[in-house]
Chain A
Amino acid sequence: MEIHELSIQGIRQALVSGQYSSHEITGALLQRIAEENPRLNAFVTVTGELALAQAKVADSRRARGEQGPLLGVPVAHKDIFCTRGVRTTCASRMLENFVAPYDATVIRRLQESGMVMLGKLNMDEFAMGSSNETSHFGPVRNPWNPARVPGGSSGGSASALAARLVPAATGTDTGGSIRQPAAFCGVTGLKPTYGRVSRYGMIAFASSLDQGGPMARSAEDCALLMDAMAAHDPLDSTSHAQADGQFYAGLDRSLEGLRVGVPEEFFGEGLDPQVAEAVQSAIRQFEKMGARIRKVHLPNNVHAVSTYYVLAPAEASSNLARFDGVRYTRRASCPRDLTDLYTRSRYEGFGPEVRRRILVGTYVLSAGYYDAYYLQAQKVRSLIREDFRRAFAEVDVIVGPATPTTAFALGDKSNDPVAMYLADIYTIAVNLAGIPAISLPCGFDRSGMPVGMQIMGNYFADEQLLAIAHQYQLQTGWHLRSPGQQGRG
């Protein structure tokens, strides 16, 4: 097996056995990135020298006897996590040259565990998008078919993983931004329970929905990442006091007697039959493995998208106010006065989708509309949360498709915001409720594009979700397929 094909677990074994050094692995991946990234555009910034230096440090730590499971394992980060000394753009012109003087807590924790940072990954601008087409640095391509989108907003992360440029990546998920691109690119990604992964240093889109999480090519690898990522963070007031867990150690668990709920609402109109078929067959697989399948209802899921597109823009309109042209952002040249400085800096710095959401968010919070939109949406949010509470009284987990279709073509929906928003129809409710969900490959459609399923769990069921996905991946091989095997182009 070539170096770039190794999983986190594979790299770990190679490092332990001495087959490769971290420096060799890092060098090989940087080589691969240099070759493949130009056609994928998955990276905004490649930090080659820094990576090789970190790899050397990791190798010497290992030589001194350190044995952390992630020591010397390369990773790349969604460019939404602040990295000290390395520019953090959020794929926006606004932050084109922004270099943070601090590390996000997630970055710090992964760095302390000895991971080697290969660079910063492309994404939708400020994580607003479902196709990675809103990036200031250009769209990311889907390695399974470069005419297709990788999904978004963590599109660079999913594409780089699928193309075997990186064995591990970070992502963030506000309405499906980890799970949808994971599904489109045939990789595995976990949206953790809100509060398990620190948001400190992760550029905010919608604070009450944003959650960072791991992306990799297997649930097992995601578990290794979660062991390092999840922890209480005193710098984040919404971080949970018992955020940490035993993710990797908890993978070995039987599905015997597991109560799996299947929501009817997730299999209705708009769902591609090929996606439905792949997910149904995964459900049969769970049954074979001892799970008991039963129907559940999530009646308010139908309101999830509209609720989300009130609340998320509302929070975003406020969160993005700090990008005002005054301090560290891009500033319009020769402003006439203060208003001109604000309006032009923001108009020039933000792309059209970001501007659209700021406008929507400002509108729904404004005097006279607050009750009708924002407050109403908060009420519906409680109903959606209540749906899950009722469902989890009957079942342990809920399984359904991660996305209504497989990856669509670039340009397909970029002029139709509502069609684009509906790409997240199965993922958004999870964020509104704050529960965890994992997305993993469960088949392919006839055009050879991966199909993703989603397993949703109750609060703090992150370990359970990883274990179920891992048990499934022990029995199936979907997650092992790579675009290369399909033939390029």
Chain B
Amino acid sequence: MEWEVVIGLEVHVQLNTATKIFCGCSTTFGAEPNTQTCPVCLAMPGALPVLNAAAVNKAIALGLALGSEINRRSIFARKNYFYPDLPKGYQISQYELPVVGAGHLDIVLPDGTEKRIGVTRAHLEEDAGKSLHESFDSQSGIDLNRAGTPLLEIVSEPDMRSATEAVAYLKKLHALVRYLDISDGNMQEGSFRCDANISLRRPGHPYGTRAEIKNLNSFRFLEKSILFEISRQKDILENGGQIIQETRLFDSVRSETRSMRSKEEANDYRYFPDPDLLPLVLEQSRIEAVQAQLPELPDAKKNRFMEQYGLPAYDAGVLTSGRPLAEYYETVAEGMDSKLAANWIMGELLGALNRTGLEVENCPVPAMQMRLLLSRIEDQTISGKIAKEIFEALFLESGEVDAIIEARGLRQITDTGAIVSLIEEIVSRHPQQVADYRSGKEKLFGFFVGQVMKESQGKASPDQVNSLLKQKLQGE
């Protein structure tokens, strides 16, 4: 009998506000330790939190994008535990009444099917600082620059049934927070990380006992930790064992999860409403103002791309996976063959970006140059093949499309006379092949095209070469 995996994700998103959630300190990443701190985020005696309105607006934006209920009244609570990088001895979070209630996110699986994943809630909280265990000779250092950075914790329903679904959900959410410009989504820097709750059950049976894998900061780690957990839990269950409810850590070097603490060892966080903060009350007008500022969301954009540009769902999905890419596409596609633009961006551009590890935002080929390049294909100044060469040059050395064409003499040869003399040259050089072709070896046609193109250094218009060559070979 088969096992069914049940997965729910808790995603921690660092909000990209200029200042921290409860004080005016900067949230910039990478500053000297403890330079972005004040009495409030250092938890000095008597210091008090004041809520950052921008963080609240970003939470509302996400809630609206997920079709969630926005709670008009939510409560900040204290989660009490001791840790050196948690200066107050408690984290200000939201417990019983979060700002964002139930919503959903629709994901598309690789086979094209859609699935709706429920989002239970999203709540605001503050990040902790960082403990630094290196370079302090048997002591630990603490950097509180990150303490008080606003986080939005987005909790899904246990609706995912495979690692693929979980990764699709996380990717979709990642794209969404960047669309909404509520987070930089930088996974290396920890701006976007998730905990995965994973359990197995027999299909149709109640949920099994789950393990929680903490702090996964890449899509690959999420996938690997789920696959590892499935086989670990399956082994235990099939050998008559029981899963222990526990927190586990993913070891990326060994690609396995390891027990961190069991439920019995878990903290009693003693949540209670934070008396330093009033309940967060949201006026309808404020929610409407955030709504009015929302950008076009990924699903809407995808539908528009299919309609407006006549793109297949797959292409539209890829091109709308991020706002910068979608904008790039729209700039290139304006007034152009939209499918040609899609092919070039999904093929050449994304390929080159992938190879060099660059993002669309810092792509060395500006959208306007890409557009110009494609327009030179369309007006037959250059062939597609030459265009690839030019793209390569643009990407690696930058420059301007027309200048490169001129400088390198890449203009396509469309002069019929010139092409005809090229053809005659080739035909006269290969009498045997001509005879073979004429006696029925038609696949030799490609050979002649290749030779002519080669002779022209790729500049001859392939269309013209084709028709003129045909005339020549068949005509005599």
> Which positions 31-53 of chain B face chain A at CB distance < 8 Å?
39, 42-51
- Asked whether any CB of chain B lies closer than 8 Å to the CB of A101, the reply is yes
B45 touches A365 (CB 8 A): no
A322 touches B49 (CB 8 A): no
Bound Cα distance A95, B45 (Å): 10
B268 touches A374 (CB 8 A): no
- Asked whether any CB of chain B lies closer than 8 Å to the CB of A439, the reply is no
A88 in complex: contacting residue of B45, B49, B89, B270, CB < 8 Å: B45
Interface centre among B46, B80, B276, B278 (most CB of A within 10 A): B46
A175 to chain B, nearest CB (A): 15
Residues of A within 8 A of B46 (CB): 81-82, 100, 104, 199-204
- Asked whether any CB of chain B lies closer than 8 Å to the CB of A221, the reply is no
Residues of B within 8 A of A200 (CB): 46-48
> Which positions 361-391 of chain A face chain B at CB distance < 8 Å?
362, 365-367, 370, 374
What count of chain A residues pass the 8 Å CB interface test? 44
A286 to chain B, nearest CB (A): 35
B80 touches A321 (CB 8 A): yes
Known A-B contacts A102-B39, A318-B89, A366-B270; A90 and B276 likewise in contact (beta carbons under 8 Å): no
A366 touches B268 (CB 8 A): yes
B45 touches A314 (CB 8 A): no
**Chain A 221-241, CB within 8 Å of chain B: the 1/0 string?**
000000000000011111000
A237 touches B51 (CB 8 A): yes
B45 touches A98 (CB 8 A): yes
Interface centre among A82, A95, A321 (most CB of B within 10 A): A321
Residues of A within 8 A of B87 (CB): 322, 326-327
Residue of B nearest to A104 (CB): B46
Residue of A nearest to B84 (CB): A326
B270 in complex: contacting residue of A206, A208, A318, CB < 8 Å: A318
**Chain A 311-324, CB within 8 Å of chain B: the 1/0 string?**
00011011011111
A342 in complex: contacting residue of B78, B82, B278, CB < 8 Å: B82
- Asked whether any CB of chain A lies closer than 8 Å to the CB of B142, the reply is yes
> Which positions 187-230 of chain A face chain B at CB distance < 8 Å?
199-204, 206-208
Bound Cα distance A338, B268 (Å): 18
- Asked whether any CB of chain B lies closer than 8 Å to the CB of A20, the reply is no
A90 in complex: contacting residue of B45, B49, B80, B84, CB < 8 Å: B45
B45 touches A237 (CB 8 A): no
Known A-B contacts A237-B50, A342-B82, A366-B268; A321 and B44 likewise in contact (beta carbons under 8 Å): no
B270 touches A362 (CB 8 A): yes
B272 touches A318 (CB 8 A): yes
Bound Cα distance A98, B270 (Å): 28
Bound Cα distance A367, B51 (Å): 28
Bound Cα distance A224, B56 (Å): 40
Bound Cα distance A391, B159 (Å): 54
A318 touches B80 (CB 8 A): yes
A326 touches B142 (CB 8 A): yes
- Asked whether any CB of chain B lies closer than 8 Å to the CB of A328, the reply is yes
B39 touches A237 (CB 8 A): no
Residue of B nearest to A375 (CB): B272
- Asked whether any CB of chain A lies closer than 8 Å to the CB of B54, the reply is no
Residues of B within 8 A of A324 (CB): 82, 84, 89
**Chain A 3-17, CB within 8 Å of chain B: the 1/0 string?**
000000000000000
- Asked whether any CB of chain A lies closer than 8 Å to the CB of B12, the reply is no
Known A-B contacts A98-B45, A101-B44, A321-B88; A238 and B278 likewise in contact (beta carbons under 8 Å): yes
> Which positions 18-59 of chain A face chain B at CB distance < 8 Å?
none
Known A-B contacts A366-B268, A366-B270, A370-B272; A237 and B90 likewise in contact (beta carbons under 8 Å): no
Residues of B within 8 A of A204 (CB): 45-46, 276
B39 touches A322 (CB 8 A): no
A167 to chain B, nearest CB (A): 25
> Which positions 115-137 of chain B face chain A at CB distance < 8 Å?
none
B142 touches A318 (CB 8 A): no
Known A-B contacts A362-B270, A365-B270, A370-B272; A82 and B80 likewise in contact (beta carbons under 8 Å): no
- Asked whether any CB of chain A lies closer than 8 Å to the CB of B427, the reply is no
Interface centre among B80, B87, B89 (most CB of A within 10 A): B89
A318 in complex: contacting residue of B39, B49, B51, B90, CB < 8 Å: B90
B74 to chain A, nearest CB (A): 14
- Asked whether any CB of chain A lies closer than 8 Å to the CB of B275, the reply is yes
- Asked whether any CB of chain A lies closer than 8 Å to the CB of B277, the reply is yes
Bound Cα distance A5, B255 (Å): 78
Residue of B nearest to A199 (CB): B48
A105 to chain B, nearest CB (A): 9
Bound Cα distance A367, B47 (Å): 28
A322 touches B89 (CB 8 A): yes
**Chain B 42-80, CB within 8 Å of chain A: the 1/0 string?**
111111111100000000000000000000000000101
Known A-B contacts A237-B51, A318-B90, A321-B82; A82 and B272 likewise in contact (beta carbons under 8 Å): no
Bound Cα distance A204, B277 (Å): 14
When A and B form their complex, which 6 residue pairs have the shortest distance between CB atoms, in order from nearest?
A321-B89, A208-B275, A365-B270, A207-B275, A201-B46, A203-B45
A selection of 22 A-B contacts at a CB cut-off of 8 Å is A90-B45, A98-B45, A100-B39, A199-B48, A201-B46, A203-B45, A203-B46, A204-B45, A235-B50, A237-B50, A237-B51, A237-B278, A238-B276, A315-B272, A317-B80, A324-B84, A326-B87, A327-B43, A328-B44, A328-B45, A365-B271, A365-B272
Chain B residues close to A by CB (< 8 Å): 39, 42-51, 78, 80, 82, 84, 87-90, 142, 268, 270-272, 275-278
Chain A residues close to B by CB (< 8 Å): 81-82, 88, 90, 95, 98, 100-102, 104, 199-204, 206-208, 234-238, 314-315, 317-318, 320-324, 326-328, 338, 342, 362, 365-367, 370, 374
Given contacts A235-B48, A237-B276, A322-B43, 8 further A-B contacts (CB under 8 A): A102-B44, A199-B48, A237-B277, A238-B275, A238-B277, A327-B43, A370-B270, A370-B272
